[in-house]
Structure 1
Amino acid sequence: MHPSPSPAEEAVAAGLADVRPSLGPSYAAALDGARAAVLTRLWRALAFEPLPWIVGRECGPDGLALQLAGGARLEGPLPDPYATGPYVSELLLDGRPYRQPTRLVTALRVPHGEDFAAELDGCTASLALSRAGRPAVAQEPAPRTTWEWEQRVVDGHPYHPNCRSRPGFSVAEQLAYAPEHRPEVELGLVAVRTEECLVTGDWPEGLRDRGRILVPVHPWQAAHVLKHERVGSGFAAHPLMALRTLAPADGGAHVKTALSTRLTSSVRDISVYSIETAAAVSAFAQGLTERLDGRLHITRTLGAASAHSPDLAAVLREPPEVYADAAAGERVLPVAALAMYAPARSAAWRAEFARLALSVCLRVLDLGVALEAHGQNLLVVLSPTGAPLRLVYRDLADIRISPARLARHGLPVPPLSGRLVTDDVAVLRRKLFGSLLTGALGATAGSAAGFAEALAEAGSLPATADTEALLTGPLPTKALTLMRLSPGVPGDLWAELPNPLIAG
């Protein structure tokens, strides 16, 4: 028996009836799968995150039982912290089955749970909409460009319960702007007097006009946030999986736009700090890659501009394709898309990729930089036969830089201060391990068993204290649900996942 639709599920169905009625049956058929996908991610969070209202966990041969403050009992299957496929179709709260994440969280009656339940409701409905618009794989031509691969990533974040959250977007706007629906988006331009604009790097002449800076603006931002700004005609672009970053249809630099709404965990505006530091961080990163024997490329930030507001800013970034030799048959795939790349399904390929990613990123960490190497920021250059050759990293806005480690290796310390700079070992390791290990590599493997196999076969890694910590202790991951349930707590919160290399 199918549960009755939730408020957000009904709202999306009504929106489809108005703007795309042909998708209605596919959307209805996708709801059960979307509920299971979000419920699986939620169960992972409940099983492993330090949520204060979970006072006990009992693991038995048939599943896991959580004892909740107040005496309630929540039961489900044995959790796999690295699984990407849905394996939870229902959870039992005091014996009563729940199949919809929003209704389960509402029934838990935890602090801030009402808002989180509404977020999960919207996410489930948006995920079903995303899946409803997905063409059958057999009917699609093979992707030729990186942006085409990115738009194949339909389900969003592999582990976040808010994996496909689109708050503030109507059904028509999701269909018009979300990458999984494969639209072409017309970016607008806002003219800002040069003296009123913060610009770093080389802002192109094509985006200047008679003493003014032309800032590319996402149409959603123009309609909902910049209502009183003068927006001119711009250019067509393909949205990448980040939604607010787009590849111009005519080629050239990728454009990261401000989008003042919350997607998964964060509001996607562009801080003034990011604009101020963009050129210095990019130049520093280019120098760092010289120590890596060509195994890592970091896309350059070409220019950045802000009207001294996080709501009106843009960053122009080198496209990752410039680091692949197309004439020789090389291509670039974002790691998040590897699940759809047939060679990556073999254990041998995953081990080879893990060896490349770990050896490079651990070396960069030892030199003094923790990359946020999750499946969206990290890309892999493939040979004509599909072998992983080298890495490309993009978006330097949230890396961490250690002056002490840089100095130890005789590397210049960039002229930076603020949140990017830290010598705290725990912060540096969490940044890398929580993105690369418990994010990109775990999701590529798709299960704890597959992840353990890939790590075990990866072979020798750099002999550093960071490697020792990776191999011998639990692995950090962002406590994404705890963060959503802790609205007054700034910054990231963390959980620990079992290390698949450690038996028991």
Structure 2
Amino acid sequence: MNLPHSPAEEAVSAELAEVRPALAGPYGAALGGARAAVLTRLWRALAFEPLPWVVRRERGPDGITLLLAGGRRLEGPAADPYTTAATVDELLLDGVSYRQAGRLMSALGVPHGDAFAAELDDSTASLALSRAGQPAAPEPEPGTTWEWEQRIVDGHPYHPNCRSRPGFTVAEQLAYAPEHRPVVTLGLAAVAATECLVAGGWPAELRDGGRILVPVHPWQARHVLKQTGRDPDALRAGYAAHPLMSLRTLSPVSGGPHVKTALSTRLTSSVRDISGYSIETAAAVSAFAQELCARLDGRLHITRTLGAVTAHTPDLAAVLREPPEVYADAAAGERVVPVAVLADAPFARSAAWRAGFARLALSVCLRVLDLGVALEAHGQNLLVVLAADDAPVRLVYRDLADIRISPARLARHGLPVPPVSGRLVDDDVTVLRRKLFGSLLTGALGATAGSAAAFGDMLAEAAGLPVTADTGALLGGPLPTKALTLMRLSPGVPGDQWAELPNPLAGG
């Protein structure tokens, strides 16, 4: 069925004709699948999130009917909260067919719906562009972690804004987005050391006398620093790097530490900058994480923060971090793979492999939670070290900017509390469990399984979990997940909002 293009789809098509005409045909062919992928993610949210204008949900064997405020009816197929496949290509609002997420959201007429509809259209168009740029022929298995990361084409497995990139032109997406596999040249902003806050060590090669050289993403230089009075053309020549799946974190072509750059745009839900708080706490939290790993028998490594700097603005900051590869024995055939790729990785397709991975991930992360730290262990932050025979042997976790630390739990285990305060510190058991379960279970493991049935089988086979105060919550009730669509429709509500998903081990 030929549907009218949204303004975002038309804009991408027009720009492609100028900057990459060879992709115009593949882009048009990819639009149908991209629309279904975004609509599927939106239907998941409508079916499970606590949206205030959904009065009641009537679930039948063949589908769901949503009774909306004002008496309207929205009908669709049965919703699998853990599916990663595009299974929804049509929803009926008062009997009228909608096949594009943005058009449906506009038709719903809910508060803040028009702004979200534009985001959905942008996500659809960008997803089609991402898919259009992929090689047609099968490729050999990647040889490096950054190559694995660039295989993530569809972005967030459950967010309708999976590929929303406001503020990026088509040319910029092709030049900077990891799935298009570019090499990005970072600039260096020279800032007087007296005007910077530095945590940890800052390498000599990124210093020049009394100046700190701060790596800057070219998009940030052009669109943000220019507005603050810094001339992008005045930046010093930096170095070439491969963008990772977070887009703003890059792996230098020459090797060495990964660099997390400031990139002040909203990707999926949040504006991606580097706060002064994360710089202030970087060294202390990194040192604390290394002490914590000593309690885990080598089954978990947390990449060290090697240095962090800010020019006292989130618009100009950077973090240097160990690459995950340092925790794999290459000579023994080990390699490190981000969890986000597991759903499509050939070695991870067997039920036995997935159960073994789930057992490793759950046992380690539940132990860490019991000790007093809730990791945000989603598919981007969590990586798995594979033996030469592909067996999952240990985990690597990166990016400590959004963990939660419980002083009370640490004290119970005789562990020192790191010298930090603020949002990282929280003893609330609900907060701690949501942080871990909402990232690892309803995020990474659910997406790896790809369906509720497969997720249930994977968890059931992951026997031998540690018995902790949190294990019962994992096995005995609904599982928390971020209400990502509710959050986008509630711009005045700060912080995360939550939904509950059926737990395949608890029957609901």
Do they superpose with TM above 0.5? yes
Give secondary structure in 1 for the equivalent of 2:12. Answer: helix
Alpha-carbon distance between aligned partners in 2 of 1:329 and 1:344, rounded to the nearest angstrom:
17
Q: Which residue of 1 aligns with 2:424?
A: 420
Classify 1:372/1:137 alpha carbon distance in 2 versus 1 (closer, same or farther; 3 Å).
farther
Give secondary structure in 1 for the equivalent of 2:264. Answer: strand
> What TM-score does the superposition give when structure 1 sets the normalisation length?
0.99
Q: Would you say 1:167 and 2:166 are equivalent positions? A: yes
1:410-432 CA deviation, whole Å, 9 max, x = no partner?
A: 00000010000000000000000
User: Residue type of the partner of 2:210?
Assistant: G
Alpha-carbon distance between aligned partners in 2 of 1:338 and 1:463, rounded to the nearest angstrom:
27
1:324-357 CA deviation, whole Å, 9 max, x = no partner?
A: 0011100000000112311211111110000000
Alpha-carbon distance between aligned partners in 2 of 1:320 and 1:136, rounded to the nearest angstrom:
29
Q: Which residue of 2 aligns with 1:337?
A: 341
The 5 A counterparts of 1:40-439 are 40-138=40-138, 140-227=139-226, 228-229=229-230, 230-439=234-443
Name which of 463, 468, 478 aligns with 1:464: 468
Give secondary structure in 2 for the equivalent of 1:215. Answer: strand
Q: Would you say 1:494 and 2:507 are equivalent positions? A: no
User: Residue type of the partner of 1:426?
Assistant: T
Alpha-carbon distance between aligned partners in 1 of 2:81 and 2:459, rounded to the nearest angstrom:
15
Alpha-carbon distance between aligned partners in 2 of 1:167 and 1:351, rounded to the nearest angstrom:
38
Alpha-carbon distance between aligned partners in 2 of 1:453 and 1:290, rounded to the nearest angstrom:
32
Give secondary structure in 2 for the equivalent of 1:427. Answer: helix
> What TM-score does the superposition give when structure 2 sets the normalisation length?
0.98
Displacement after TM superposition at 1:363 (Å): 0.0
Q: Which residue of 2 aligns with 1:27?
A: 27
Alpha-carbon distance between aligned partners in 2 of 1:93 and 1:337, rounded to the nearest angstrom:
35
User: Residue type of the partner of 2:33?
Assistant: G
Displacement after TM superposition at 1:137 (Å): 4.5
Alpha-carbon distance between aligned partners in 2 of 1:2 and 1:402, rounded to the nearest angstrom:
54
Q: Which residue of 1 aligns with 2:446?
A: 442
User: Residue type of the partner of 2:352?
Assistant: A
Alpha-carbon distance between aligned partners in 2 of 1:463 and 1:92, rounded to the nearest angstrom:
46
Alpha-carbon distance between aligned partners in 1 of 2:131 and 2:264, rounded to the nearest angstrom:
25
1:218-250 CA deviation, whole Å, 9 max, x = no partner?
A: 000000000132411100000000000000000
Give secondary structure in 1 for the equivalent of 2:225. Answer: coil
Alpha-carbon distance between aligned partners in 2 of 1:503 and 1:472, rounded to the nearest angstrom:
9
Alpha-carbon distance between aligned partners in 2 of 1:250 and 1:24, rounded to the nearest angstrom:
34
Alpha-carbon distance between aligned partners in 2 of 1:298 and 1:274, rounded to the nearest angstrom:
16
1:75-130 CA deviation, whole Å, 9 max, x = no partner?
A: 00000000000100010001111000000000000000010000000000000000
Alpha-carbon distance between aligned partners in 2 of 1:351 and 1:440, rounded to the nearest angstrom:
13
User: Residue type of the partner of 1:197?
Assistant: C
Displacement after TM superposition at 1:142 (Å): 2.3
Alpha-carbon distance between aligned partners in 1 of 2:242 and 2:347, rounded to the nearest angstrom:
26
Alpha-carbon distance between aligned partners in 1 of 2:292 and 2:312, rounded to the nearest angstrom:
30
Give secondary structure in 2 for the equivalent of 1:260. Answer: coil
Displacement after TM superposition at 1:2 (Å): 1.6
Alpha-carbon distance between aligned partners in 2 of 1:503 and 1:185, rounded to the nearest angstrom:
48
Alpha-carbon distance between aligned partners in 1 of 2:54 and 2:384, rounded to the nearest angstrom:
39
Alpha-carbon distance between aligned partners in 2 of 1:346 and 1:98, rounded to the nearest angstrom:
36
Unaligned runs of 5+ in 2: none
**Deviates further, 221-230 or 246-255:** 221-230
Give secondary structure in 2 for the equivalent of 1:465. Answer: coil
Q: Which residue of 2 aligns with 1:483?
A: 487
Alpha-carbon distance between aligned partners in 1 of 2:464 and 2:141, rounded to the nearest angstrom:
35
User: Residue type of the partner of 2:337?
Assistant: L
Q: Would you say 1:454 and 2:458 are equivalent positions? A: yes
Give the superposed CA RMSD.
Answer: 0.7
Consecutive aligned runs of 4 or more in structure 1 exceeding 3 Å deviation: none
Displacement after TM superposition at 1:136 (Å): 2.4
Q: Would you say 1:17 and 2:21 are equivalent positions? A: no
Unaligned runs of 5+ in 1: none
**Deviates further, 20-29 or 456-465:** 456-465
Alpha-carbon distance between aligned partners in 2 of 1:278 and 1:147, rounded to the nearest angstrom:
23
User: Residue type of the partner of 1:257?
Assistant: T
Alpha-carbon distance between aligned partners in 1 of 2:61 and 2:169, rounded to the nearest angstrom:
44
Alpha-carbon distance between aligned partners in 2 of 1:333 and 1:374, rounded to the nearest angstrom:
13
Give secondary structure in 1 for the equivalent of 2:189. Answer: strand
Alpha-carbon distance between aligned partners in 2 of 1:481 and 1:45, rounded to the nearest angstrom:
6
1:386-427 CA deviation, whole Å, 9 max, x = no partner?
A: 100000000000000000000000000000100000000000
